[in-house]
């Protein structure tokens, strides 16, 4: 049985919150000055824990064990969404640090994968570790808010020319564990303290574009308008009205981004664009939702007067977590939180879905108060944080003892 230091863990989490603190949350976008400072701080904490710390050429932070044997990798990410919560990502990294400190005799590596939150790209840190990010992908990456190139951001961080860490031999690792806040309200609603993740949902993103004719909002008769806004809000409502009849029990869909061109009160918009995203753990459900969405787009385009087109923005496939890792987490949860845990899918994407492509992976959830995340009010009870880390440490010890 591993013995973690709850007070030390909480103190480190609170220290990390000071990098980019925003109200009770953080604003710590990838490669912002506060993000870079948090990476240096993490490296110093990993060194202090006896690990060999390294910030690689894409700004992921590693703490390598000095112990012999096949290793267990534990991690998550440091950066946050804009003006967002203090635990999303940070919790998993600090759990990794604390588990490595609690089990100093075991071969445990800790990783903070850069840019899980997608300020520059798509799981850049985890994918870079797997050897799936080319130099030209980094050359082309730019911050979605500031438009700064990733190369300039890395240069600001003092990382220009620094080599990247890659997984040369997957056999070096027993596998990967990641802890995360649930980000939903299911554990809290059921009064549970631990979730053992069974799979991570697939996330399918589409860009839908509306082409009308820009015109004057006073002199253009209603009958001859080709108003891209009208076309967009009409399709958005068709999606809201019809998706309930095609989704599965846990499917979700979101239109979180919309834009009008030129977006002025006195101009009939000539162009519009929206992002439609849906998620499910079942590939057949994802296929069904895409077919339905494409039929709605075709119907809207045929109805006119605006042209409506759809393009895939990004798709991730659902990832099933390793059965043995699930069992190890479940056994630890059963011991530390008897009657207070369940197995459940993850509705959010996580670095674990990338690592799962090359090694066994497992994930643990702790509850989110009110189900809130991606907002500065995001929080988790201290007792749930400490218990979650204890369960992760027990599972890590069990997995390494069985390997």
| Residue bearing tokens 């806040």 | 181
Tell whether residue 320 is a contact of its own copies (CB under 8 A).
no
Question: Which one, 107 or 195, has the nearer CB to its own copies?
Answer: 195
Residue 211's CB is within 10 A of a number of other CB atoms, namely 17
Tell whether residue 49 is a contact of its own copies (CB under 8 A).
no
Tell whether residue 252 is a contact of its own copies (CB under 8 A).
yes
Question: Which one, 162 or 236, has the nearer CB to its own copies?
Answer: 236
Q: Minimum distance between the CB of residue 321 and its own copies, rounded to whole angstroms?
A: 16
Spell out the long-range contacts of 259-264 with Cβ–Cβ below 8 A and sequence spacing 24 or more. Answer: 260/228, 260/229, 260/232, 261/214, 261/228, 262/214
Q: Is the distance from CB of 178 to CB of 361 less than 8 angstroms?
A: yes
Can you tell me which of 92, 96, 349, 388 binds its own copies, judged by CB under 8 A?
349
Can you tell me which of 264, 291, 303, 317 binds its own copies, judged by CB under 8 A?
264
Compute the distance between CA of residue 82 and CA of residue 30 in angstroms, rounded to an integer. Answer: 10
Compute the distance between CA of residue 6 and CA of residue 98 in angstroms, rounded to an integer. Answer: 9
Q: Which stretch binds its own copies (CB under 8 A): 162-170, 226-234, 304-312, 321-329?
A: 226-234
Binding mask 57-86 for its own copies (x = CB under 8 A): ------------------------xxx---
Can you tell me which of 15, 122, 149, 233 binds its own copies, judged by CB under 8 A?
233
Angle at 132 between CA 146 and CA 285, to 5 degrees: 85
* Closest listed residue to residue 257, CA positions, set 273, 241, 279: 273
Compute the distance between CA of residue 326 and CA of residue 197 in angstroms, rounded to an integer. Answer: 7
Tell whether residue 230 is a contact of its own copies (CB under 8 A).
yes
Reduced to 3 states (helix: H, G, I; strand: E, B; else coil), residue 174 is strand
Question: Which one, 65 or 183, has the nearer CB to its own copies?
Answer: 183
Can you tell me which of 37, 130, 213, 357 binds its own copies, judged by CB under 8 A?
213
Query: With the C-alpha atoms ordered 79, 358, 334, 198, is the resulting torsion angle positive or negative?
Result: positive
Residues lying near its own copies in the complex (CB under 8 A) are found at 81-83, 118, 182-186, 201, 203, 205, 213-222, 224, 227, 229-230, 232-234, 236-237, 240, 244, 250, 252-260, 262-270, 275, 277, 279, 313, 346-349, 368, 371-375
């Amino acid at each position: 049985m591993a013995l973690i230091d709850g007070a030390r863990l909480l103190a480190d989490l609170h220290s990390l919150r000071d990098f980019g603190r925003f109200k009770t949350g953080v604003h710590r976008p990838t490669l912002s000055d506060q993000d870079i400072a948090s990476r240096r701080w993490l490296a110093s904490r990993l060194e202090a824990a006896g690990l060999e710390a390294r910030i690689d050429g894409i700004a992921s932070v590693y703490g390598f064990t000095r112990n012999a044997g096949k290793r267990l990798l534990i991690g998550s990410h440091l950066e946050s969404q804009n003006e967002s919560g203090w635990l999303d990502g940070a919790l998993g990294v600090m759990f990794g640090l604390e588990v490595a400190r609690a089990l100093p005799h075991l071969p445990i590596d800790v990783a903070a994968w850069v840019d899980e939150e997608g300020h520059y790209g798509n799981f850049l840190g985890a994918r870079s570790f797997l050897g799936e990010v080319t130099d030209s992908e980094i050359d082309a990456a730019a911050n979605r808010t500031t438009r700064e190139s990733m190369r300039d951001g890395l240069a600001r961080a003092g990382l220009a020319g620094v080599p990247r860490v890659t997984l040369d031999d997957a056999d070096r690792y027993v596998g990967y564990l990641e802890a995360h806040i649930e980000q939903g309200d299911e554990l809290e609603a059921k009064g549970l303290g631990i979730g053992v993740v069974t799979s991570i949902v697939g996330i399918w993103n589409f860009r839908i574009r509306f082409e009308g004719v820009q015109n004057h909002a006073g002199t253009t008769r209603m009958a001859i308008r080709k108003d891209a806004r009208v076309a967009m809000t009409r399709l958005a409502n068709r999606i809201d009205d019809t998706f309930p009849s095609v989704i599965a029990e846990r499917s979700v869909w979101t239109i979180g981004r919309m834009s009008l061109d030129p977006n002025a009160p006195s101009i009939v918009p000539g162009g519009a664009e929206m992002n439609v995203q849906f998620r499910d753990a079942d590939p057949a459900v994802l296929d069904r939702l895409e077919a339905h969405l494409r039929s709605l787009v075709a119907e809207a385009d045929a109805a006119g007067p605006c042209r409506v087109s759809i393009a895939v923005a990004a798709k991730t496939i659902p990832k099933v977590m390793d059965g043995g890792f699930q069992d190890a987490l479940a056994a630890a949860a059963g011991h530390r939180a008897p009657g207070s845990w369940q197995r459940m899918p993850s509705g959010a994407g996580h670095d674990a879905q990338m690592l799962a492509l090359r090694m066994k992976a497992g994930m643990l959830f702790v509850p989110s108060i009110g189900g809130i995340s991606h907002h500065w009010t995001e929080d988790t009870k201290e007792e749930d944080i400490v218990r979650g880390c204890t369960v992760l440490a027990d599972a890590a010890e069990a997995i390494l003892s069985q390997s």
